[in-house]
Amino acid sequence: MPLTELAVLDRGFVKLVDHMGSDLSVVNAARVSFGKRKEVYDEADGKLIAYLAEHDHTSPFRHTAMTFHVKAPIFVFRQWMKHRISSEFNEISGRYVEFPEDEFFVPETFRRQAKVNKQGSEGTVEGDAGDQAHAIFLETCRSAVAQYKKLIGLGVCREQARCILPLGLYSEVYWTVSLQAAAHFIRLRTDAHAQWEIQQYAHAVRRMVEELYPNALKALLENARP
């Protein structure tokens, strides 16, 4: 049975909603160039897929589609949505929906600011400092949600009240994407330079895509730039 749901972070998930095609779809889209079509995937197709990926002939990989339902913190979606090519997103709206309590991300461990790489992190914040960080983080998010509820209670519209909610708040998204675009997302976001939190989502997506298009995904990832 294919993998259709994986838990990610403390409250998130990636679910496969639907998909179109298989490794064979890539091969058949490519073979239209020389007027051929196959019903069963075989060894020769593996060679063709490898050739396409090596030579940057990416269009056959886009005759595929997957829809995922994802729950992730807003700061993760802000990175995710930079991937716009062959990607469609529909997100839960904070104008319609009142946010429930405790639906924010809390890190299990806090990482230290990296010294050389200005945008990265390294090691962990240990001991007392770590405990303090955890308490501050949790308290600030809880308080923000409580104050948000008070604003709603005072009659303030949801679209304004949400301004005080934290960037770690969970949201939900429908994401429809071609295999090529999914592979690009996986490549960039499983990279060690990506933020650890989005890496966890990228690994989950990778595990699901691997079951659907194993050979095509392998070829795309192997032939990516170093």
Closest to a copy of itself by CB, 12 vs 73, is: 73
* Residue 30 engages a copy of itself in binding (rule: CB under 8 A): yes
Candidates 84, 111, 112, 189; catalytic one = 189
Active-site residue, 158 included: no
* Residue 141 engages a copy of itself in binding (rule: CB under 8 A): yes
Site for a copy of itself in 63-102 (CB under 8 A): 63-65, 67, 69, 73-75, 78, 81-82, 84-86, 88-97
* Residue 20 engages a copy of itself in binding (rule: CB under 8 A): yes
Distance CA 152, CA 158 (A): 7
Binding mask 159-188 for a copy of itself (x = CB under 8 A): xx-xxxxxxxx--xxx-x-x---------x
Determine which residue in the list 41, 107, 199, 218 makes contact with a copy of itself, applying CB under 8 A.
107
Distance CA 26, CA 63 (A): 7
Report which of 62, 48, 7 is spatially closest to residue 176, judged by C-alpha positions.
62
Closest to a copy of itself by CB, 7 vs 97, is: 97
* Residue 4 engages a copy of itself in binding (rule: CB under 8 A): no
Locate tokens 């955890």: which residue? 134
* Residue 21 engages a copy of itself in binding (rule: CB under 8 A): yes
User: Which SS3 state, helix, strand or coil, does residue 220 take?
Assistant: helix
| Interacting residues of 41 by C-beta distance below 8 A, sequence separation 6+ | 22, 23, 24, 27, 215
- b (16+ CB within 10 A) / e for 40-74: ebeeebbebbbebbeeeebebbbbbbbbbbbbbbb
Catalytic (active-site) positions: 189
